Amino acid sequence: MAREISVRQLSGTNEAFEFLPDMTLREFKKQLHGWLPCADESKRSMSCVEVVVGDTPLLNNEEMLSEVIPGAEVLAFLSIKPVTCSSFVTAGCDPDDIRVVEIPGGKAGVGLCAFQGCSSLASVTIPNSVTVIAYCAFQGCSSLASVAIPNSVTHIGAVAFQGCSSLASLTIPNSVTEIGESAFGGCSSLARVAIPNSVIKLTDNSFQGCSSLASVTISHSINVIANRTFQGCSSLASVAIPNSVTEIRESAFEGCSSLAVVDIPNSVTEIGERAFKDCSSLARIAIPNSATAIGEGAFEDCSLLASVDIPNSVSEIAESSFQGCSSLASVTIPDSIFVIGYCAFQGCSSLVSIAIPNSVTEIGECAFKDCISLSIVTIPDSVAMIGNDAFAGCSYVLPETTRHKLDCDGSLWWDLGHAC
């Protein structure tokens, strides 16, 4: 059964309007858009509706009106330009209609999800009074091709421009100190970005999935390349990591399939899990002496990687660290290593020989499995345990004198015609 509410226009006049309890806020706004008069029909595509209960704007367009409207209250008005009911722009626009936005001067920020899903929005002007572009402000604005962020902006919020798939041009001013999580994730047309020295924090997923990103400049103010920051940036061919960086975190460059050159400075102490996984064009990597930890799968499936020198600052070759590096022909393992982990070199089909130092006490399960060219292995007396299938599928045959160290169910040696 329909309910009746009172709708107030900017002129102050009230009109009665009926709505169904199962109508969403989005559907209600679309009906208001067609119902309320527009002073200038040429600006109809720019018209925006904001719905308020009391003084509180309703921002979730998917909510049912029956859940957010307590009674027959005055709760809506129309503005031809984006709504400016507070110091922040909180437009609440019909995403199918808005194409051009000129945010009035004097506004301090672009509010939460202000233009989220405005898929026809092609142009936006942000005045230099704005200091904050808030959470999901322009998320999903798939027609937005360029945006000029003024020097007044200090904070770009999480998912602020996520999914702006036409965004090809972007300048981040040197006033910005923080770029929020997934702020530019999925901006698949973005070709280059320079992160200014003012930015002190890059959060997770900042440029994840920017598949056209071919050039990136990382400022010397950045200490951490966060989780998945450039994951899936498949056009990125080279990157210079400044010597201010101490950590390259989980999946930071995973899936950067064009990445052929990366210089890791001596400041880096930790390379996170899957940090360079699936960087299938990476032919060389210099791991600095400052690195103390190389995470699981850090260089997994880097199929062109031909050689690697592991520094003596590292104590463990973690699980799957170099798994699937099918071009890897040369590996230097230092005498600081105690453990060669599970599947650490599995599938390194070009590896012919390996010298395991006296420091190693454990060779993990499947550590060198399917290294089909591996025929020369030096295993020292220090090795106390060899995991199941550690050398399965290799040309190398474990000597009789070493088999007592094998921790297995017999499957490997039955395959070779021998029991454990």
pLDDT at 417 over 50: no
% the chain with pLDDT above 90: 56
CA atoms of 161 and 232, how far apart (whole Å): 17
pLDDT at 75 over 50: no
Domain with CATH 3.80.10.10 in the chain: 306-420
> CA geometry: angle at 31 spanning 63 and 27, to 5°?
25
If we measure between CA atoms, which residue out of 291, 289, 294 comes closest to residue 276? 294
Average pLDDT on 212-221 reads: 93
Dihedral sign (CA 6, 10, 13, 15) = negative
Q: Where residue 415 falls among pLDDT bands split at 50, 70, 90?
A: very low
SS (H, E, C) 224-260: EECCCCCCCCCCCCEEECCCCCCEECCCCCCCCCCCC
Q: Are the C-beta atoms of 243 and 219 separated by less than 8 Å?
A: no
Average pLDDT on 97-111 reads: 79
Question: Of 200 and 313, which is predicted with more confidence?
Answer: 313
The pLDDT value recorded for residue 77 is 41
Q: Given 1.10.10.60, 3.90.105.10, 3.10.20.90, 1.10.10.10, which CATH number is that of 1-80?
A: 3.10.20.90
Average pLDDT on 344-351 reads: 97
Question: Of 375 and 34, which is predicted with more confidence?
Answer: 375
CB atoms within 10 A of CB 285: 20
CA atoms of 285 and 330, how far apart (whole Å): 12
| CATH no. of 306-420 | 3.80.10.10
Average pLDDT on 74-100 reads: 46
Average pLDDT on 45-63 reads: 56
The pLDDT value recorded for residue 232 is 97
Compute the mean pLDDT over every residue in the chain, rounded to the nearest whole number: 81
**Which of 68-72, 86-90, 138-142, 344-348 has the highest mean predicted lDDT (pLDDT)?**
344-348
**pTM for the predicted model, two decimal places:** 0.76
Rg (CA), the chain: 29
Q: What is the pLDDT of residues 318-346, one digit of tens each?
A: 999 999 999 999 999 999 999 999 999 99
Average pLDDT on 92-118 reads: 74
Q: What is the pLDDT of residues 235-285, one digit of tens each?
A: 999 999 999 999 999 999 999 999 998 989 999 999 999 999 999 999 989
Q: Where residue 170 falls among pLDDT bands split at 50, 70, 90?
A: confident
The pLDDT value recorded for residue 83 is 35
Q: Where residue 68 falls among pLDDT bands split at 50, 70, 90?
A: low
Q: Are the C-beta atoms of 344 and 370 separated by less than 8 Å?
A: no
Q: Determine which helix (DSSP H) or strand (DSSP E) holds 28, and give its type and residue range.
A: helix 25-35
Q: Where residue 8 falls among pLDDT bands split at 50, 70, 90?
A: low
Domain with CATH 3.10.20.90 in the chain: 1-80
Q: What is the pLDDT of residues 377-390, one digit of tens each?
A: 999 999 999 999 99
If we measure between CA atoms, which residue out of 219, 97, 113 comes closest to residue 157? 113
User: In 78-231, which residue ranges form alpha helices assigned H by DSSP?
Assistant: none
